[in-house]
Chain A
Amino acid sequence: MGENSYKNWQEKTLIPYIKKNPTRKKKFETSSYLDVKELYADSDVKNYEQNLGYPGQYPFTRGPYPTMYRGQFWTMRQYAGFGTAKESNERYKYLLKQGQTGLSVAFDLPTQIGYDSDSPMSEGEVGKVGVAIDTIDDMETLFKDIPLDKVSTSMTINATAFILLAMYIVVGKKQGVDKKLLRGTIQNDILKEYIARGTYIYPPKPSMRIITDIFDYCAKEVPKWNTISISGYHIREAGSTAVQEAAFTLANGIEYVKSAIDKGLNVDEFAGRLSFFFNAHNDILEEVAKFRAARRMWAKIMKERFQAKNEKSQMLRFHTQTGGSTLTAQQPENNIVRVTLQALAAVLGGTQSLHTNSMDEALALPTEKSVRIALRTQQIIAYESGVANVVDPLGGSYYIESLTDTIEEKAWEYINKIDELGGMVAAIEQGFVQKEIQESAFQYQMDIENKERIIVGVNSFQIEEEPPKDLLKVDPSLRNEQIKNLQRVKSQRDNTKVLNNIKLLKETVQSNENIMPVVIECVENYATLQEIADALRQEFGEYKESVVI
């Protein structure tokens, strides 16, 4: 084929046919407003061999590993946590028994924002969207009978990531597990919190200092730990397009790498422990292309921009969660289908681990049954669908390669713009990123309002429905239980030691020495999450968002 034969086909066959049989729409676009032609051909793909390459080789478009799922499946890592540490521990043991292959911890909002359960700010929030953790005592309970050398644990925690990581290290120590053996990830991606998720505490600059302290400490002391999960998931949930998700995520990554290098770290010492976290939305082919584009771009960024020599530093490895914001409250069983398509997109795109959402998450916290269905979705794709038997099965598709190129090109445009603005921290401070996302979110929702975008069961194919039954409820008295436990811990600990630890922490913050060893000591002596977080609040202050609609 070639451009001429394509044009010939259009003139001879396509155009006459369309005159008699019009297409459904005049203009077809991806979910993120990228133009979609009726057919793609070899003339749509440029520099095929160079851009595509092979899996396990630069630029890793086709995957970070040569055998991908022929070697081992992606980690099935269901994000879970609610109520008290005891309740969450029971669910983790349940999920591990059902075949989940890695843990993923959801913390409640007070824990994420640095408040203990007894704080007035915690009223109504304790244990609601995740597990409540106030001290190392709760953390021990959370991982009771779960040996930390046998599991890998992902923790969705950002502003207080340094505290929860310290707790995890101490739990390992109490279990007799050397910290050099600990495996897992802390999300630790504060930049996306300012633009898309909101669980920030401190301003950007001191937050970056905390993050690079973690990089430095873990490179030496906890070498198997992934120190960050640079997240596009929440950027997409906030309403970005797929291009923006890729661009802003990678721009955040650039900022973290730059920060670490400015601090004196060698790029190949820490870059292999950076990981990513993306969304999987409903437009399967666009999502597959997005993942491939991100891998290729990161490889180039690390090799060309930061001169990373080690291939591990050039690989983008990512976790995926299916798109929570796509779930509907209406006809919730439809969400099983949506999640299945999204999970398939993640797998076809080469994800290293995956969370599948539950069908009832637009209504309440997921029930045990709906969590099981979500996990079975992954297992069916892995064991029954055949898509895991081939590396990058959609690679070479003219459309996939063309779309990968388009997403890459447009994402680079954003990255160049952000560089012009002075980098991602500057772009966030100027409100550029937030505004871009907000515009996309508004457009997306207006399309739904105007039925330009059909959501099955919501703006079409609607039915009269009875309220769903069997939704999970978190017992409000849980907070009282949590507070009682917290009071017990405080009354039993050595308070003088805690006060001295907190004082030393503040001095360490001022001195620019690494804060991690002191935080670990605070935690070990039962300092509470809020006591540690407040110490840094007093030194760093709190970030205040500027609000625009």
Chain B
Amino acid sequence: MQKVRILIAKPGLDGHDRGAKFVARALQEKGYEVIYTGIRQTPIQIALAAVQEDVDFVGLSLLSGAHNELFPKVIEELHNAGADDIIVFGGGVIPQSDIEFLKSKGIKAIFGPGTSIKTIVDFIENESKSRNSKIS
């Protein structure tokens, strides 16, 4: 089976990258193929990077409060690029009350501050499994 590929990206102008970098490296150490594109990415740049890198997952990180605008925009740009099969999850400073809205826009999961890596790995493994069973 091919290695699961994950893009970790920071949409918008927020420069707080500590969490994104930690998740990227921790997932890499767990054996996933991880690409991190750095801060100050636009939604379209993230979508193009995801397609170009042929990833299975996109993890978005945002602490500036712009998640309700920018996360759905990434989904939209992935759709425009014909990449609806890519699974998108998010994290950062995101109020609980916004999670339902984000999920309704196609974000599969939101991991708030204090989430353990194990929780994220479990999510990736579960989603990979159910996607593989759909394919075969």
Which residues of A come within 8 Å of B, CB atoms?
Answer: 109-110, 112-113, 115, 121-125, 128-129, 193, 197-199, 237-239, 325, 328-330, 362-365, 438, 441-442, 445-446, 449, 455, 458-459, 467-468, 471, 474, 476, 545, 547, 549
Segment touching A, from B8-16, B50-58, B80-88, B126-134? B8-16
Q: Are B116 and A363 in contact, CB atoms less than 8 angstroms apart? A: no
Q: Are B96 and A438 in contact, CB atoms less than 8 angstroms apart? A: no
Q: Does B109 contact A (CB under 8 A)?
A: no
Q: Are A128 and B64 in contact, CB atoms less than 8 angstroms apart? A: yes
| Besides A329-B114, A438-B21, 9 other A-B contacts (C-beta < 8 A) | A122-B13, A124-B70, A199-B13, A328-B113, A363-B95, A446-B26, A467-B96, A474-B65, A549-B34
Nearest chain B residue, comparing its CB with the CB of A361: B93
Nearest chain A residue, comparing its CB with the CB of B66: A124
Which residues of B come within 8 Å of A, CB atoms?
Answer: 12-18, 21-22, 24-26, 28, 34, 36-40, 42, 64-66, 68-70, 73, 93, 95-97, 112-114, 116-118
State A467–B117 Cα separation when bound (angstroms). 22
Indicate the member of A124, A328, A438 with the most B CB atoms within 10 Å. A124
Q: Are B65 and A129 in contact, CB atoms less than 8 angstroms apart? A: yes
State A455–B113 Cα separation when bound (angstroms). 12
Task: Tell me which residues across on chain A come within 8 A of B93, comparing CB atoms.
Answer: 362-364
Nearest chain B residue, comparing its CB with the CB of A130: B64
Q: Are B97 and A471 in contact, CB atoms less than 8 angstroms apart? A: yes
State A459–B114 Cα separation when bound (angstroms). 8
Given contacts A199-B15, A238-B18, A442 and B69 within 8 Å (CB-CB)? no
Q: Are A364 and B65 in contact, CB atoms less than 8 angstroms apart? A: yes
Nearest chain A residue, comparing its CB with the CB of B117: A449
- What's the minimum C-beta distance from B120 to chain A, rounded to whole angstroms? 11
Q: Are A125 and B28 in contact, CB atoms less than 8 angstroms apart? A: no
State A121–B42 Cα separation when bound (angstroms). 8
Task: Tell me which residues across on chain B come within 8 A of A471, comparing CB atoms.
Answer: 95, 97
Specify which of A238, A364, A446 is in contact with B95 (CB 8 Å cutoff). Answer: A364
State A474–B69 Cα separation when bound (angstroms). 12
Q: Are A330 and B66 in contact, CB atoms less than 8 angstroms apart? A: no
Top 4 closest pairs, chain A to chain B, by CB:
A198-B15, A124-B69, A124-B66, A467-B96
Q: Are B65 and A442 in contact, CB atoms less than 8 angstroms apart? A: no
- What's the minimum C-beta distance from B98 to chain A, rounded to whole angstroms? 9
Task: Tell me which residues across on chain B come within 8 A of A445, comparing CB atoms.
Answer: 22, 26
State A441–B16 Cα separation when bound (angstroms). 13
Q: Are B114 and A458 in contact, CB atoms less than 8 angstroms apart? A: yes
Indicate the member of B12, B26, B112 with the most A CB atoms within 10 Å. B12
State A129–B117 Cα separation when bound (angstroms). 27
State A459–B116 Cα separation when bound (angstroms). 9
Given contacts A109-B12, A113-B13, A128-B65, A198 and B39 within 8 Å (CB-CB)? yes
Specify which of A198, A362, A449 is in contact with B40 (CB 8 Å cutoff). Answer: A198
Task: Tell me which residues across on chain A come within 8 A of B112, comparing CB atoms.
Answer: 329
Specify which of B12, B24, B34, B95 is in contact with A124 (CB 8 Å cutoff). Answer: B12
Q: Are B21 and A121 in contact, CB atoms less than 8 angstroms apart? A: no
Task: Tell me which residues across on chain A come within 8 A of B22, comparing CB atoms.
Answer: 239, 441-442, 445
State A330–B42 Cα separation when bound (angstroms). 30
Task: Tell me which residues across on chain B come within 8 A of A442, comparing CB atoms.
Answer: 21-22, 25-26
Q: Are A476 and B25 in contact, CB atoms less than 8 angstroms apart? A: no
State A363–B93 Cα separation when bound (angstroms). 6
Task: Tell me which residues across on chain B come within 8 A of A109, comparing CB atoms.
Answer: 12-14, 64
Q: Are A330 and B114 in contact, CB atoms less than 8 angstroms apart? A: yes
Q: Are A545 and B39 in contact, CB atoms less than 8 angstroms apart? A: yes
Given contacts A442-B25, A549-B25, A549-B34, A125 and B13 within 8 Å (CB-CB)? yes
Nearest chain A residue, comparing its CB with the CB of B10: A198
Specify which of A237, A239, A549 is in contact with B24 (CB 8 Å cutoff). Answer: A549
State A12–B74 Cα separation when bound (angstroms). 67
A-B contact pairs, 20 of them (CB 8 A): A109-B64, A110-B13, A113-B13, A122-B13, A124-B68, A125-B14, A125-B64, A125-B66, A129-B64, A238-B18, A325-B18, A328-B113, A328-B114, A363-B95, A364-B65, A446-B26, A459-B114, A467-B95, A467-B96, A547-B37
Task: Tell me which residues across on chain B come within 8 A of A239, comparing CB atoms.
Answer: 18, 22
- What's the minimum C-beta distance from B56 to chain A, rounded to whole angstroms? 18
Task: Tell me which residues across on chain A come within 8 A of B70, comparing CB atoms.
Answer: 123-124
Task: Tell me which residues across on chain A come within 8 A of B13, comparing CB atoms.
Answer: 109-110, 112-113, 115, 121-122, 125, 199
- What's the minimum C-beta distance from A108 to chain B, rounded to whole angstroms? 8
- What's the minimum C-beta distance from A181 to chain B, rounded to whole angstroms? 34
Q: Are A547 and B36 in contact, CB atoms less than 8 angstroms apart? A: yes
- What's the minimum C-beta distance from B91 to chain A, rounded to whole angstroms? 11
State A442–B24 Cα separation when bound (angstroms). 10
Indicate the member of A121, A128, A237 with the most B CB atoms within 10 Å. A128
Specify which of B17, B36, B39, B116 is in contact with A449 (CB 8 Å cutoff). Answer: B116
Nearest chain B residue, comparing its CB with the CB of A546: B38
Specify which of B40, B96, B116 is in contact with A468 (CB 8 Å cutoff). Answer: B96
State A198–B95 Cα separation when bound (angstroms). 23
Nearest chain B residue, comparing its CB with the CB of A542: B40
Task: Tell me which residues across on chain B come within 8 A of A193, comparing CB atoms.
Answer: 15
- What's the minimum C-beta distance from A529 to chain B, rounded to whole angstroms? 14
Nearest chain A residue, comparing its CB with the CB of B8: A549
Task: Tell me which residues across on chain A come within 8 A of B97, comparing CB atoms.
Answer: 467, 471
State A547–B95 Cα separation when bound (angstroms). 29
